[in-house]
A and B are shown apart, each in its own frame.
Chain A
Amino acid sequence: MRRGLAGALLAAVLWSAPAMAAGDGRTGPVKPASADHPLKELWSGYYYASPEIRQMQDADADNPAMALYNKGEALWKKVEGRAKKSCASCHGNATKSMKGAATRFPAYLPLTKKPLAIEGRINLCRQKFMQARAYPPESEAMLALSIYVRRQSYGQAINIPGDGPLKPFVEKGRTYFTSRRGQLDIACAQCHDKYAGKLYRSEKISQGHPNGFPAYRKSWKKTGSLLRQVNQCLARMRAGPLKPGSDSFVNLELYLAWRANGLQIETPAVRE
């Protein structure tokens, strides 16, 4: 496998990973940084996963989503569009330039005065600077490149500023998360703040953190984005789905990221 410098660095990070026990900062618990946080301790979805699932995530060779990582690495360098550029033309080596990016996204974009998620950033760069067409949501290319970019922050703690220009958007996301909706008339927070650790049918409810996405879910037999996961939860509540890149979804993603501040990026995770 040709992974070059990225692979070498990645292997170095992963090498220290296997024997992760509770309390190592990756699974949790992490103390929330602010007083207005709904949880007393933060635990990654990894913590709630079975040993079999954890092992699939820990060993690159067993993690089905890692194939997309390799595709993403190729896409990073692929020249496309009328400007005849690749991501690498502007950003160089992703292991340096993208390091830490996922810990800061969704980020505030002064141009639109709104937060923008990594998927939105990728398409913005493609359209504006490469003059290439936007990747469709949930397409293989979008999953691959967003995994590749997010993976450069592997092991780094999420760090979304809860104040400043993002604050009103975090609050909008919080309102969405805590409002009852759908035919079941329940809120995300009811399951993920209150009943985390309990079984829902045969699934262990986690705290619902975004730090592992895009992730491979065994029940999907596929790698999917955070949007896909959220829309599955909404379908369970018999609530309407969120649209890719919509303000409501990006605000929700921002709130989830803020709520996960301190947890480490583990993209691409494996879940049940």
Chain B
Amino acid sequence: MKPALRTICIGAMACALAAGSAADTRAQQTKSVKKVQAPRCSAGATTRLVRYKVERGEALPAAIPKPLTRKPGDAARGLEAAADPGKGNCLACHSIAKALAKADQSDPQSVRTYGNHGEVGPPLNGVGGRYTPGELRMIVVDPKQAFPDAETVMPAYHARKGVKDVVARCRNQVMLGAQTVEDIVAFLEELK
């Protein structure tokens, strides 16, 4: 596994750019004192990056037809991961009617998780009818390969090529593990 690209120092100005350094040192100190595993970046994060093969899609330039794991994705778990601000946090940018419907208006915690959505990306209702499972997998794994416009703001959930200036606690990790990606893909497939 390749380590995430670090900020390269060219002169003092650029060195100051490697702003995570203080936090780094602190994290390292904590690690040596507590002798525990490297702190996880968020609930879904992992350092395990699964290899996959990219092929041409139908509607999109790229797709990953073969699932990342042997165990089939679980759509119900996928919904949870898509809503969870610490996992997929897809609702930060997308509206998903099926997730929003789960919000219990009498419970602030539930409203926080399911009950609000962003408008940065398109609503995901019906997305299972627009794309093949392989294309949906490609979108979640690495949208810069999936979309013709590589300038997309959507984060890659299972790729980390070229990322720089990552906060110490997330370094060398991917946003979501392979099984969670499969769960989310299973959930998206059902959005017909």
CB of B17 within 8 Å of the partner chain: yes
* Residue from B13, B21, B91, B156 with most neighbouring chain A CB atoms (10 Å): B13
Shortest beta-carbon distance, A262 to chain B, in Å?
27
Contact with A186, one of B89, B91, B155, B160 (Cβ below 8 angstroms): B155
Interface contact B23-A184, CB-CB below 8 Å: no
CB of A201 within 8 Å of the partner chain: yes
* Nearest residue, chain B, Cβ from A198: B119
Known: A200-B118, A201-B118, A202-B116. A183 touches B175 (CB 8 A): yes
A180 to B143, CA, bound (A): 15
CB of A191 within 8 Å of the partner chain: yes
Shortest beta-carbon distance, B89 to chain A, in Å?
8
Known: A195-B120, A199-B117, A240-B167. A185 touches B16 (CB 8 A): no
* Nearest residue, chain B, Cβ from A186: B153
Chain A residues with CB under 8 A of B156: 185
Known: A200-B93, A201-B85. A183 touches B170 (CB 8 A): yes
- Chain B interface residue number, banded: 35 or more
Interface contact B163-A185, CB-CB below 8 Å: yes
List residues of B (133-180) whose CB comes within 8 Å of A's CBs: 153, 155-156, 160, 162-168, 170, 173, 175
CB of B185 within 8 Å of the partner chain: no
Contact with B19, one of A180, A195, A238, A243 (Cβ below 8 angstroms): A243
Shortest beta-carbon distance, B107 to chain A, in Å?
16
Interface contact B16-A248, CB-CB below 8 Å: yes
Known: A240-B18, A242-B19, A248-B13. A182 touches B116 (CB 8 A): no
Chain B residues with CB under 8 A of A234: 167
Interface contact A182-B166, CB-CB below 8 Å: yes
Interface contact A183-B116, CB-CB below 8 Å: no
Chain A residues with CB under 8 A of B127: none
Known: A182-B167, A183-B160, A183-B167. A243 touches B153 (CB 8 A): no
Task: Count A interface residues, CB 8 Å.
Answer: 32
Interface contact A246-B19, CB-CB below 8 Å: yes
A121 to B167, CA, bound (A): 29
CB of A190 within 8 Å of the partner chain: yes
* Residue from A185, A186, A198 with most neighbouring chain B CB atoms (10 Å): A185
Chain A residues with CB under 8 A of B165: 181-182, 239-240
Interface contact A239-B166, CB-CB below 8 Å: yes
Shortest beta-carbon distance, A185 to chain B, in Å?
5
Chain A residues with CB under 8 A of B16: 243, 246-248
A6 to B138, CA, bound (A): 60
A30 to B64, CA, bound (A): 47
* Nearest residue, chain B, Cβ from A243: B19
Contact with A198, one of B91, B118, B170 (Cβ below 8 angstroms): B118
Shortest beta-carbon distance, B67 to chain A, in Å?
24
A186 to B160, CA, bound (A): 12
Interface contact B19-A199, CB-CB below 8 Å: no
Chain B residues with CB under 8 A of A181: 163-166
CB of A176 within 8 Å of the partner chain: yes
Q: Mark B45-85, 1 if CB is under 8 A from A, else 0.
A: 00000000000000000000000000000000000000001
CB of B20 within 8 Å of the partner chain: yes
A247 to B11, CA, bound (A): 12
A residues contacting B by CB (< 8 A) are 172, 176, 179-186, 190-191, 194-195, 198-202, 205, 234-235, 238-243, 246-248, 251
Q: Which 3 A-B pairs have the closest CB atoms?
A: A240-B20, A181-B165, A202-B116
B residues contacting A by CB (< 8 A) are 12-13, 16-24, 41, 85, 89, 91-93, 116-120, 153, 155-156, 160, 162-168, 170, 173, 175
Other than the given A182-B166, A183-B166, A247-B13, 11 more pairs (CB < 8 A) read A181-B164, A183-B170, A183-B173, A184-B155, A185-B155, A191-B153, A195-B120, A198-B118, A238-B41, A240-B23, A241-B167
Q: List 22 A-B contacts (CB under 8 A).
A: A172-B13, A180-B163, A183-B167, A183-B173, A185-B155, A185-B162, A186-B153, A191-B120, A198-B120, A235-B167, A238-B41, A238-B166, A238-B167, A240-B18, A241-B19, A241-B23, A243-B16, A243-B19, A247-B12, A247-B16, A248-B13, A248-B17
